[in-house]
Chains A and B, each alone.
Chain A
Amino acid sequence: MPHFKETPAALDRRRLLLGGVWALITATTSGAGAQGRRFRIAFANQNEDPSIRLDGLGFTGMDVRRSFELAARTMPVEMTYYDNAGEGEKALANADDAIDRKIDLFIGYNVDADANAEIGRRLRAAGIRALAVNYPIPGAPLYTADNLSAGGIAGHALGDFARQNWSGQSVVAVIVGDLGDIRPSMTDRIQGIVEGLQRDLPDITLTRLDTSGNPVRIEGLLGKFLRAQTGRKVLIAALDDATALAAKTAIQVAGRLGDCIIVSHGVDHSVHGGAADKKELDPNNRGSILQGSVAFFLDRYGYEVLPIALRMLAGEHVPLRIATKHILITGQNVFQVYPPFDMN
C-alpha cells in the first residue's frame, strides 16, 4: 500500500486524534477554572480580496475566514477578524487595534516578514500571546503548510503510478505552474515534487513549464511539449488545481488522455464538489487523468488553528512548529475527507 493513499482506518485515526485534542482542550480549559470563560481571539487574515488566491493555491482569504467562523461556533471564543489586505502596513495597524482591544491571543496570517517582526515585538510588549499562520512571527508558535512534504506526496504518487502502470515504457515528467514564484513555500513544493518523483524513478527526465501565474497559459505550453513527446508517457505535477484543470484540457485537445497522468496541489473547490455538484475528484470519476490533489486544508485552518490557540490559553506547551497533515485526495477518498452535504 503506497503511503499516499490514506485508508479509511488512517482517516479514522486522524479524526480520533482531532477528537482527542479537543477533549484535552475541554478538560484543560475547564480544569484550569476557565469553565464558562470565553477567550477573545483576533485573527488577522492575509487577504480577503476574493480575486486573490493564497500561497500559490486556489483558496481565497474568505475560505480561510469562513473556516475560523465555522470552527468558532462551538468553541469558548469571541472572535475579532481583520483583513491584512496583503499589506504590511495594514497588518501592523490591525495588530495595533487588536492590542488596544486587549485581546487574549492574536493569530496572524501575514506574508510580510518585516511587519511580522514588528507585530511580534508590539504584542510581546503588550503581554499578548501570538500564533502565526504560514509566515513566522518571532517568538510565536507557527502553524504552517509543509510544502516539502506535500510536494513529496505528489511526486511519489506520480512515480508510483508510473512504476505500477507504465513499467518498461518511456516516461518523462513535467512540473507545471507559477515556477517564477520564488517564495520558499513554492520552491519547497517544487523540491518536494522532485524528491518524491526520484524516489521511485531516480533517472526520470524532468521538464518545467512556467505559467507565470496564469493557469490558462499551460494549454499552449503543454500542447507544444506533448507534440515533442510522441510515444512517451507523461507525468504531470501541477502546483495548483487551476493549472491541473487547464493541463487536463490541453491533454484532451492533444488527444493524449491515455498517455498522461496529473497530480495537483490544494484540493480547492474547483476540483471537489458534492453529490450533485460533480467535480473532477469524485467517487464516480475514478478514471480521471487527474489522479488526485494533495490537500492543504486552507478551508479548515480554523479547525486546526483555534484548538492550538486554546491550548496556549490554557497554559499548555505548544510546539514551535505545527505542520498541516497533507494527504493525497483522490476519487476514492474525497467524500470521506470532504463529505458532501447536498443531499438529505
Chain B
Amino acid sequence: MRLNKGFAAVALNLLAILGGCGGALAQADCKTLVKASPFGPSDETGATNRITPAVTKAAAAEIQSGQVISMAYNLVDGVPLFGTRFTKTVLTSFALVPGAEYGKNKLSYMEDTYLSQSHVGTHIDGMGHIGIQDCYYNQTSMGKYVTQNYLKKLGLENIKSFATRGVIIDLVKVFQQAGKLKTNPACQTPCLDGGTVITEADIQAGLKMYNVTLREGDAVFLHTGWGDLFKQFPAKNADYNKAEPGLSKSAAEWLASQNVVVVGADTWAVEVIPSENTDEAFPVHAILLTNNGIHIIENVRTDLIAADAANSNRATFFLSMTVPKAVGATGTFVNIEAIR
C-alpha cells in the first residue's frame, strides 16, 4: 500500500512537471477549483439559461392585478459605497443659455455623464465578478481574457432574460416568529442584526410561511430589514457597511441546488458579514457566482414587496428587470420591479 502511494506520488509529480507549460497547468487548476457549467464547456451565460419560454410563461401567471412595486433604490450621490468607489453624475446643459437655442423653434436639450463604478446602488454581479484565484465561472482561466477596458469572456452581454418568477423571503418575519430576532438599534424598523447567519432552515421557514415551493428558474430575494440603514444614507452608511445579516454557505448551496437564477437581498453582499469563518473571503459569492452561475443582486429594496406579501399572503411575483448588454462588464446597476 505504501509502495503504491509512493508510486502514485511520483507519477503525479512527473505529470505535473510534464504539464508544466503555463496554459495547460492553469486549465487543470481551474478544473479542480471551479465546477463545470451544466450548460456545456462554452457556456458564458450561467443560470439565466434556465429561463426558458416555459419558465417565463409560467411566471406570467403571477401578474394578477397589474400592480407594480419598486425593488430598487434611487441611484444618487451619497448612498453607501466602499473606499474609493464612487458614483457621480455630471449634468451637461446644451443650448440652455438664452440665445443659444437651436433653430427657429428654440430647441434646447441636456445630457448626463455618469462617472460611476458599476457595483453601486442596486446592482447585479455578473459572471466576471468573482473567481477563485484566476478561475471564474465554468472553469474559465480569466487571466487570458482580461484587457485594460473589459473582459473578453463572461461579460454581461452573455446574460439571457430575467423574465421569470420572483420570490420574496421575509427573514424578519421568520426570525420574529421563531423568537430569535436580534435587531440593530440603528434600524428604524425591525432588522436582522449584522453578523446574523441565515441558514437553509430559515429560508425554508420563509418559503413555508407563504406556502411557496421553489422551482427552476426562480429569482429569490431575501428581506432582512438591513436595507433600512441604506435608506438612511448618508447618516448610517458606516453602520450599513460594517457588517450585515446574510446567507450561510450551506444555505447558498441549498439555494443553488434548487436551480434558482438570482439571489438578491437588501444588503451589500447577500452573505453574512463577518463570514462564518473569518479567514474566508466572500465564500457565498464563490458558491453562487463562480460555481453555479447564479447572479447576486445587492442593495435590493425589499421592504415594499415584503410588506405587500404580508398584506396579500402571497410572496411570488413576476420579475421585471433588464440588464444592459455592456460588453465585457462585471456588473451594473439595475432597476427591478415586482409585477403582481
Contacts and interface: CB of A to CB of B under 8 A. Distances in A.
A335 B278 CA distance: 11
Contact-size category for A: 20 to 34
A337 B298 contact: no
A344 B83 contact: no
A311 B277 CA distance: 19
The 10 A-B residue pairs with the shortest CB-CB distance, nearest first, are: A276-B83, A339-B281, A344-B269, A344-B268, A342-B82, A276-B82, A73-B197, A341-B273, A74-B276, A343-B82
B82 A303 contact: no
A297 B119 CA distance: 32
A303 B276 CA distance: 10
A70 B274 contact: yes
A125 B274 CA distance: 39
B197 A337 contact: no
A277 interface: yes
B82 A275 contact: yes
Given A275-B82, A344-B298, A339 B280 contact: yes
A70 B82 contact: no
B152 to A, nearest CB: 23
Interface string B177-195: 0000000000000000001
14 contacts: A15-B279, A18-B277, A73-B195, A73-B196, A300-B279, A303-B278, A338-B279, A339-B280, A341-B269, A341-B273, A341-B275, A342-B241, A344-B119, A344-B282
A342 B195 contact: no
B248 interface: yes
Interface in A134-186: none
A340 interface: yes
B84 interface: yes
A275 B278 contact: no
Interface string A311-344: 0000000000000000000000001011111111
Interface of B: 82-85, 119, 195-197, 241, 248, 268-269, 273-282, 298
Contacts of A277: 83
- Among B241, B248, B278, which residue has the most Cβ atoms of chain A within 10 A? B278
Interface in A1-49: 15, 18
Nearest to A15: B279
B81 to A, nearest CB: 9
A344 B123 CA distance: 10
Contacts of B279: 15, 300, 337-339
Interface in A68-88: 69-70, 73-74
Contacts of B280: 339
A23 to B, nearest CB: 13
A341 B197 CA distance: 16
B131 to A, nearest CB: 14
- Among A70, A73, A338, A344, which residue has the most Cβ atoms of chain B within 10 A? A344
A324 B312 CA distance: 54
Contacts of A275: 82-83
Contact of B82 (A300, A335, A344): A344
Nearest to B269: A344
Given A342-B83, A344-B268, A344-B298, A73 B276 contact: yes
Interface string A266-281: 0000000001110000
A340 B85 CA distance: 15
Nearest to B242: A342
Given A339-B278, A342-B82, 12 more contacts: A70-B195, A73-B195, A300-B278, A303-B278, A337-B279, A339-B279, A341-B273, A341-B281, A343-B83, A344-B119, A344-B269, A344-B298
A174 B84 CA distance: 38
- Among A69, A70, A276, which residue has the most Cβ atoms of chain B within 10 A? A70
B83 A341 contact: no
A18 B273 CA distance: 20
A304 B291 CA distance: 29
A277 B275 CA distance: 18
Nearest to B123: A344
